[in-house]
Amino acid sequence: MKMGKFEKAFVNAPRHAKRAIGFAESLLQYAQPDEDKKYLEVGCGAGAVCHHVKGEYRLDITGIDVDPEQVELAKEIAGDKPKIRFLEASATDLPFPDNEYDIVLSYMVLHHISDWLDAMKEIRRVLKPGGYYIIGDLIFPRFTAWIGQLFKQKFGVMTINDFNSFFTENGFAEVHVSKSKSHLFGSIEGVYRRCS
């Protein structure tokens, strides 16, 4: 789902970029970001996290976003730097071969995708066995998930049980997970390793 002008202004604001970079930095340590590993960010927006990661680690960086304006902005900022590229693509149909990436990151993206489970399957497909998936997103408590189902045509409605089931059924091991709760929704920040 493409963002409206208000939401785009919010996600492109320095404050949001700082929060996203802090999220990535705190969890990348669990993913062994060694030199020349391939890194993919799903829903990269204007590329703030990709640009930061490129400056801190010697990774081969790819960022994808469904919004062409965001992708163009990310490309402008990158200029002609080597080993960083941005593509317009959907998370539910990633234009990469199987087992391509060592690290995949998505931050506050899946709740924008009504068929979020298809996006998760694509992330698993392009992640190498032994690779790491870093996720940060909103989750609904079970007792409020039914409210979210009213909006499932436009948004991804996920519970912690949905995530746990996906990771268990698709051969992921939990490396590090942090969850928070509120009455309406909570959040998850985690690193999962693809074992098979």
CB under 8 Å to 50, separation ≥6 — which residues? 39, 41, 44, 61, 63, 74, 78, 84, 86
Q: pTM of the entire structure? A: 0.90
- Check residue 28 and report its DSSP letter: H
**Distance of alpha carbon 98 from alpha carbon 116, whole angstroms:** 19
**Distance of alpha carbon 190 from alpha carbon 176, whole angstroms:** 5
Residue 1 has what pLDDT?
Answer: 55
CB under 8 Å to 114, separation ≥6 — which residues? 1, 152, 153, 154, 155, 156
Residue 191 tokens, joined: 């690193």
Instruction: For residue 155, name the pLDDT band (cuts at 50, 70, 90).
Output: low
Residue 126 tokens, joined: 């392009």
Domain topology for 5-27+34-194: Rossmann fold (3.40.50)
Give me the torsion for CA of 135, 23, 111, 106, rounded to 10°: -50
**Distance of alpha carbon 121 from alpha carbon 69, whole angstroms:** 26
Q: Average of pLDDT values for 157-183?
A: 88
Least confident of 12-16, 72-76, 97-101, 170-174: 12-16
